[in-house]
């Protein structure tokens, strides 16, 4: 019998759509936010509770430092830039199978660093290098095609992450500890410059839209000075001129603190999506000042600047960024629920406990375990809340 009028039941309002590979690989933030945050959770569990599994040539604290900076922080940055690049230029840098292939490179690196033997180490190193180079090329192509001069320098910062990763890896192979630390510190500063560049644009923009009557000065000139100081600090550090690097780093950190005060932090105290970003930016500014003191020889504990920049700065900013930007691009209301706010508080606790564990005479092991627990819970809450949204079409 011929069907004249097929009848389809409408989807009930508010019913979730089905998971979709096409939606999942539509924009860079979807797979890379989930991969970066999931690996940050797993890698800390491995580092604290199962270090015996870290049998690759990149092992122990060197593996931990590399994976936190390049595999977590750097990956989230790539996810953000591949997404924001589409807004800046009108051209989506990577999507579909090409984006999936980029993620496959990332996964190859994570697995092969855990495999014993020098060949496995080189496979992982090459995969990470290709990951950052490919992301930089894709973003650079979109920026160039649109003649988006304001963002010409952004792909170069991804190239800097690739270069510092390679310097770090070569330091591991050669047993060159000073060279390895030079790569780590230069990678930290490259990521810091990129973070400052992004944060200076988006935090005032987000705050002005969310808080009625809040006006924030642009600080354009001081912002340019801040970025220039950061780039100089990286160049001086790679050249071994630590004193000049410390001065440039102190200038960049001081400007960040002045900007933070001018952004009127008290005005955003009732908006969790904003105060978490403000907290992370403050942590980054303080971390740059601690890094300057370390390079100048005024701070003896080398891990202080790494964890102040990396945990109190990058990680606190990340838990806010992966929430706020994902909500916006997923077409969901820019409001936090209880799980999101709890994840913010837990990440702040993880940062404070991690720094407390570095204090001389402090009970380091209990504080370290408490920090790791807060860290895992914070990222676990994020993944639990956002994974179902990330794998489905935009609301």
Average pLDDT over residues 34-58: 95
Q: What is the pTM of this model?
A: 0.93
The yes-or-no verdict on residue 2 having pLDDT over 60 is no
The token pair that represents 302 in the structure block: 């080398």
Of the CA atoms within 13 Å of residue 75, those in its CB half-sphere come to: 28
**Residue 38: exposure state from Cβ atoms within 10 A (0-12, 13-18, ≥19):** middle
Which value, to the nearest 10 degrees, does the dihedral of the CA atoms of residues 246, 249, 251, 252 take? 180
Q: What is d(CA 317, CA 284) in angstroms, rounded to the nearest whole number?
A: 9
Region class of 228: left (phi > 0), else alpha (psi between -120 and 50), else beta: alpha
The yes-or-no verdict on residue 1 having pLDDT over 90 is no
CA separation, residue 4 to residues 7, 47, 53, 347 (Å): 10, 64, 64, 58
Q: What is d(CA 160, CA 287) in angstroms, rounded to the nearest whole number?
A: 20
* pLDDT bucket at 301, cuts 50 / 70 / 90: low
Q: What is d(CA 85, CA 141) in angstroms, rounded to the nearest whole number?
A: 10
Q: What is d(CA 11, CA 320) in angstroms, rounded to the nearest whole number?
A: 32
* CB 367, CB 356: distance < 8 Å: yes
Q: What angle do CA 53, 44, 127 make, to 5 degrees?
A: 70
pLDDT at residue number 16: 63
CA separation, residue 170 to residues 130, 236, 269 (Å): 16, 19, 45
Q: For residue range 126-183, list pLDDT tens digits in order.
A: 999 999 999 999 999 999 988 878 888 899 999 999 999 999 999 999 999 888 988 9
Domain ranges of the chain: 21-175
* CB 83, CB 28: distance < 8 Å: yes
The yes-or-no verdict on residue 366 having pLDDT over 50 is yes
């Amino acid at each position: 019998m011929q069907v004249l009028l097929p009848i389809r039941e409408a989807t009930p309002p508010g019913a979730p759509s089905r998971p979709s590979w096409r939606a999942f690989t539509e924009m860079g933030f979807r797979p890379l936010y989930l991969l970066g945050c999931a690996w940050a959770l797993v890698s800390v569990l491995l580092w604290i509770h199962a270090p015996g599994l870290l049998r690759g040539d990149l092992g122990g604290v060197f593996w931990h430092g590399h994976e936190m900076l390049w595999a977590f922080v750097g990956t989230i940055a790539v996810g953000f830039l591949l997404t924001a690049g589409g807004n800046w230029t009108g051209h989506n840098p990577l999507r579909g199978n090409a984006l999936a292939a980029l993620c496959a490179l990332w996964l190859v690196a994570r697995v092969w660093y855990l495999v014993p033997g020098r060949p496995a180490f080189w496979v992982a190193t090459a995969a990470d290098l290709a990951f950052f180079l490919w992301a930089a090329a894709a973003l650079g192509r979109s920026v160039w095609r649109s003649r988006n001069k304001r963002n010409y320098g952004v792909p170069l910062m991804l190239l800097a992450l690739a270069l510092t990763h390679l310097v770090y890896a070569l330091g591991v192979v050669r047993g060159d500890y000073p060279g390895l630390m030079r790569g780590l510190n230069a990678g930290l500063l490259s990521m810091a410059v990129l973070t400052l560049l992004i944060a200076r644009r988006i935090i005032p923009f987000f705050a002005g839209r969310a808080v009625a009557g809040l006006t924030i000065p642009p600080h354009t000139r001081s912002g340019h000075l801040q970025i220039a100081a950061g780039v100089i600090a990286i160049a001086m550090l790679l050249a071994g001129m630590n004193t000049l690097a410390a001065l440039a780093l102190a200038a960049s950190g001081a400007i960040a603190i002045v900007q933070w005060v001018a952004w009127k932090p008290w005005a955003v105290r009732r908006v969790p999506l904003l105060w978490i970003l403000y907290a992370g930016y403050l942590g980054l500014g303080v971390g740059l000042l601690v890094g300057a003191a370390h390079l100048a020889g005024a701070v003896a504990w080398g891990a202080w600047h790494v964890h102040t920049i990396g945990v109190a700065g990058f990680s606190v900013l990340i838990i806010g960024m992966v929430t706020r930007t994902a909500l916006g691009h997923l077409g969901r209301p820019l409001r936090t629920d209880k799980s999101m706010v709890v994840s913010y508080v837990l990440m702040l606790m993880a940062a404070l406990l991690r720094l407390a564990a570095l204090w001389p005479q402090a009970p380091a092991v209990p504080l370290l375990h408490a920090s790791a627990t807060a860290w895992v819970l914070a990222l676990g809450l994020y993944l639990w809340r956002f994974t179902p949204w990330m794998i489905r079409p935009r609301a």
